[in-house]
Amino acid sequence: MTETASGAAPRSPLFVRINDDMKAAMRAKQSDRLLAIRGLLAAIKQKEVDERVVVDDVQIVAIVDKLCKQRKDSISQFEAAGRTDLVAKEKFELDVLSAYLPQQASDDEVAAEIDAAVAAVGATGPQDMGKVMGVLKAKLAGRTDLSAVSAKVKARLGPVPTKIDPAR
């Protein structure tokens, strides 16, 4: 971790990279890129102020992931409304933010992680889904869409058993 200029709390490498990218965008006069990076830095600063902590790389990745999800939602909303100008702006910001996420896990990696998690917790059915997702969330957060992973885990563990009413 790198010390801040004032010698205060050390900063994570990802934060330093984002800050350096902001400075580079300022020098290159890339206003759209600068706007996206400043928005990210504002979200990081907001978390630090709200929780009175210095964020680390894991927390920054969570913030970036949240902002990416917001951009994806905005893109779908703007496409539905026919606002191609705003769609282009949001896609550009999504591309800028995505550069700060870790490399995305492949489908094969996700399947292997699901198999390993099911074996680790000894999952036998859908009632163990929470335990499996707890393990997977720690390993795959920021590397893949966890809602898609959840659907795969649900399919892997089988359907929820239906209770038959003995009174019938």
Is 167 domain-assigned?
no
C-alpha angle 101/67/57, rounded to 5°?
Answer: 40
CATH number at residue 76: 1.10.1510.10
Short-list 68, 128, 117, CA closest to 92: 68
Angle of helix 84-98 relative to helix 57-81, nearest 10 degrees, comes to 160
Same domain, 65 and 117: no
> Tens digits of per-residue pLDDT, 137-155?
888 877 787 888 888 888 8
Structural domain span for residue 143: 107-157
Same domain, 18 and 90: yes
> Tens digits of per-residue pLDDT, 15-58?
999 999 999 999 999 999 999 999 999 999 999 999 999 998 88
Is 40 domain-assigned?
yes
Same domain, 35 and 74: yes
What is the total count of domains within the chain?
2
Same domain, 27 and 94: yes
The encoded tokens of residue 159 equal 């359907």
More confident residue, 19 or 10: 19
Same domain, 40 and 85: yes
Is 28 domain-assigned?
yes
Band of residue 97 on the pLDDT scale cut at 50, 70, 90: very high
Same domain, 91 and 112: no
CATH number at residue 123: 1.10.10.410
Is 70 domain-assigned?
yes
**Whole-prediction pTM value?**
0.70
Same domain, 127 and 82: no
Same domain, 21 and 90: yes
Amino acid sitting at position 129: M
Is 22 domain-assigned?
yes
Distance between start and end Cα atoms, the chain: 66
Amino acid sitting at position 115: D
Q: If you average pLDDT over residues 89-106, what whole number do you get?
A: 90
Does 160 have pLDDT greater than 70? no
Is 162 domain-assigned?
no
Is 89 domain-assigned?
yes
Same domain, 87 and 131: no
Is 168 domain-assigned?
no
Same domain, 115 and 93: no
Same domain, 118 and 139: yes
